[in-house]
Amino acid sequence: MLYNSLQFLLFFIFVTVLYWNIPNKYRWFLLLIASCYFYMAFVPIYIVILGFTIVIDYFAGIYIEKATSLRLRKVLLIISLTANIGVLAFFKYFNFLNSAFDGLLSYSSHHSPFPYLTFLLPIGLSFHTFQAMSYTIEVYRGNHKAEKHFGIYALYVMFYPQLVAGPIERPQNMLWQFHSNHKYDFENLKSGLMQMAFGLFKKVVIADRLAEIVDRAYANPSAQNGKTVLIVAILYSFQIYCDFSAYSDIGIGAARTMGFKLMDNFNMPYLSQSIGEFWRRWHISLSTWFRDYLYIPLGGSHVTTGKKYLNLIIVFLISGLWHGANVTFIIWGALHGILLILENIKNGIAGKSHKNNQPPFFVRALKTVGIFLLVTLAWIFFRSPDLKTAGIILGKIFSYSIAGPLNHDVANLSVLIFCFFVIAVMMIKEYFFLIIPTKNTFKFYFIFVSLLLLSYFFGVFNHKQFIYFQF
């Protein structure tokens, strides 16, 4: 079920109104049924896969807690992780690995004996798999007690506002909330609705409008000139931000209307002055997941410099692969890893003496622009369907000529002016108010209704999926 659809609007109203009008003890059940329905609205049968990992992890959690020997706990954790990663690997990476295998065998004039899978990737698989893994790891580490209530555990994995594209939550933040008795709070409702409305605005007015331009250019990159692809690359940076953060906004807002607080997933990432800072502001729930469950267990920064850099590269390569089974995602991850290593080396050379000195504004502004452009270049690999396309786009950018005309088949001037205007408005809004204040009820209604009207009149409603659904 897409957040930017009439179906979701009715679903949300029905579930939220019912949620506040039934006794607390039945609410978990309502949310679980609603979440199952929400997920099944995409491809019903895939609920079985989700159910499989939920059952495995539920029992793994309980038995890990009960187990007295460390060895047994480790075995149970490995079983749980293997089940999760196995499902992920089978559905997401089988064809990729099979194709690589096929390529290898082709040197000896043979072909892979395994057939390619033809079914669709279960939606949001990487998200709920990672969320489920965070639970068993936390129980294994003793940071959280195993959840005894099967329904609540299932809800932890399936809670509809964050089921398909995060934020990837932790048991410490969510499980207690499912056990709590949420009291109706009009302020929460207003705040949640406002965040949802702004998310909808970002998705349909900005992201999907930009998508039209970007898709046209990427459909035929050879026909574009340097100026056009440079502008398109910049626009894609905002498209993916608005698309993904809109999903998070609507999800976080929907949860808030029912009294739940999900973690923030974005914090103005394009104002970062370093790649490290960018990753503390972009997709925060995934970055922290990799930090806590991969980077630190590998030794983190408390190892030799060489090992630390190796750890960084491993984390970013896996992060790339997490996004998709394609070499373009791996290169995207590798680029970020390399940039982060270079940044670490530069900081090491510069020493700690500069740490406390705030550079002047224009230096900070230049750094922000520089980091944005580096991130934008990396996004080219993320967006391109293959390396050839990425190569064409980069080739055009680096042979950029200011004299070249803009390709008006991709975007006309008025669309570009509109897009840059709404992006500027969004950035200013987010700089001053990450969440629009809603204390004043009159202002709330005015801004809320205005956002809905603007979304309707200037929005693109073509049932376009959120980019991160594919992951």
Partner 1 sequence: MRKLSAYIVLVVVGLIYVAGCNQTITNKIQEYKAKDNPYLNSDRYRYGDLYGMSYLSYFRKSYNPGPPIKMIECSCTPKIDLYTVSDSYIWPAFTSKKYYYGVDKLDNLISSHHEKFKINLDSAKINVLMLEFTERNVAYMLEDEGYMDNILNAPDKDKKTESASQELNPQQIQAKSPGNKLSAILASIKQFRTVIFDYIFNININSNLEFNLTDNSILSPIKELKADMNYKLFNAVDDNVKISDKGDQLFYTPTVDTLDIMSAFRFISDKEKDTLVSRLNSIYFNYKKNGFARVYLTIVPNPISMLSPNYHSLTYNHLLERIQNSPSLKMPFINLLPVFSREKNRVYLKSDSHWNHNGASIWQKEFNSRLETLLKTGSK
Q: Is 33 in the site for partner 1 (CB under 8 A)?
A: no
Alpha helix (H) ranges present in 89-221? 94-106, 125-141, 150-158, 160-163, 171-179, 186-201, 208-219
Instruction: Give the footprint of partner 1 on residues 378-437 (CB under 8 A).
Output: 412, 414-415, 418
Closer Cβ to partner 1, 10 or 369, answer by number: 10
Half-sphere exposure of 148 (CA within 13 A, CB side): 1
Residue 461 C-beta: closest distance to partner 1, Å: 9
Looking at 128, 144, 283, 323, which residue is catalytic? Answer: 323
d(CA 279, CA 288): 9
21 near partner 1, rule: CB under 8 A: yes
The residue among 187, 203, 205, 155 whose CA lies nearest residue 15 is: 155
In the three-class reduction of DSSP (H, G, I as helix; E, B as strand; rest coil), residue 149 is classed as: coil
249 neighbors 199 (Cβ within 8 angstroms): yes
x/- site string to partner 1, residues 293 to 312, per CB under 8 A? --------------------
- In this chain, which stretch among 89-97, 301-309, 343-351, 460-468 interacts with partner 1, using CB under 8 A? 460-468
Q: Closer to partner 1 at the Cβ: 20 or 94?
A: 20
Alpha-helical regions (H) of 324-360: 327-350
Q: Does 6 bind partner 1 (CB under 8 A)?
A: yes
Alpha-carbon span 438 to 33, nearest angstrom: 31
> Nearest approach, Cβ of 163 to partner 1 (angstroms)?
16
Does position 26 interact with partner 1 (CB under 8 A)? The reply is no
Q: Note whether 463 binds partner 1 by CB under 8 A.
A: yes
DSSP assignment of 152-173: HHHHHHH-HHHHTT-----HHH
Residue with tokens 């690997």: 89
**Residues 256 and 191: beta-carbon distance below 8 Å:** yes
Which one of 29, 44, 114, 398 is in contact with partner 1 (CB under 8 A)? 44
149 is a catalytic site residue: no
Per-residue binding letters, 194-233, with partner 1 (x by CB under 8 A) = ---------------x--x---------------------
Catalytic residue positions, numbered: 323
Which spans of this chain sit near partner 1 (rule: CB under 8 A)?
A: 2, 5-7, 10-11, 13-14, 17-18, 20-21, 37, 40-41, 44, 209, 212, 412, 414-415, 418, 456-458, 460, 462-463
